[in-house]
Amino acid sequence: MKDYYYFLGISRDASDEDIKKSYRKLSLKYHPDKNPNDDFFAERFKEIQEAYETLSDKGRRITYDQNLESLQKSFRYTVPPSIKTFSANKIHAKKGEEIIITWQSQNADVVKVLPFGLEKAYGERVFKISEFKNGKFQLLLHATNSLLQKTVVQGITITEVFESDGEKFRDRAEELFKPQPRTVINRRGYPKIMLLIWGIVILAIAIYFLISNFM
């Protein structure tokens, strides 16, 4: 059973206004129009919509709260959560190649598979990796027993495989010219190649002044 309060980032005693505010904020953040061709954001947006439709309706919310409370009480709250299995059909893959992961947790009422989001206590997911980070794609399984407030985590790392040296070179070259996330140091999100060029220029100027001082 999905935890809709978790989806919206609110407490169980949240007011109708709290639910609306959280929904508006998250729906804008995860709207597919702002994140085109991104399955993670599309799936997260659906979860937010589903949560809001249930919790904003008083009758549906009462029924949902009763079912959620009953489900949580059925867990053995004295037993911590555990991960029985978490595996992928391959740990080396090419970009765009299909991956199948399976998992099974125990004594957990909140289960997340990152980067995808909340899932059932056990299941299977088929997906394709559109982007690797430094040649790797990280998957994390979080199994939480909310009554005990304990969480266990297990990860899988999938390593990128290139068909040829030329493809590997092209992929790294594209990474150099791709805009980067904005940070305190790189506020405008300049590509790595520009930061590298600036670094070389600054180093050359520093060397020039250093040599000038000794002459």
In a domain, 208, yes or no: no
Domains: count for the chain: 2
- Which of 39, 57, 77 delimits the end of a domain? 77
Domain with 156 in it: what CATH number?
Answer: 2.60.40
Reported as a single tens digit per residue, the pLDDT across 138-167 is 999 999 887 778 899 999 999 998 765 555
Domain with 12 in it: what CATH number?
Answer: 1.10.287.110
- Which of 160, 178, 209 delimits the end of a domain? 160
Closest CA to 43 of 130, 119, 143, 147: 119
pLDDT tens, per residue, the chain with 215 residues: 678 888 888 888 899 999 999 999 988 888 888 777 777 778 888 889 999 999 999 999 999 998 887 776 665 556 889 999 999 999 999 888 899 999 999 888 888 999 988 888 888 999 999 889 888 999 999 998 877 788 999 999 999 987 655 555 566 666 667 777 777 677 777 777 777 787 788 888 878 777 777 66
Q: How far is 84 from 102, CA to CA, in rounded Å?
A: 11
Q: How far is 190 from 184, CA to CA, in rounded Å?
A: 12
**Crossing angle, helix 39-55 and helix 58-74, to 10 degrees?**
110
In a domain, 100, yes or no: yes
Paired strand residues for 214: none
- Are 103 and 155 members of one domain? yes
In a domain, 181, yes or no: no
The helices-and-strands tally (H runs, E runs) of the chain is 6, 8
The sheet that has 122-128: what strands, in order across it? 82-88, 98-106, 122-128
The residue range of the domain holding 46 is 4-77
In a domain, 33, yes or no: yes
Omega before 115 within 30 of 0, i.e. cis: yes
- Per-residue confidence (pLDDT) for residue 159, from 0 to 100: 93
- Per-residue confidence (pLDDT) for residue 104, from 0 to 100: 94
In a domain, 131, yes or no: yes
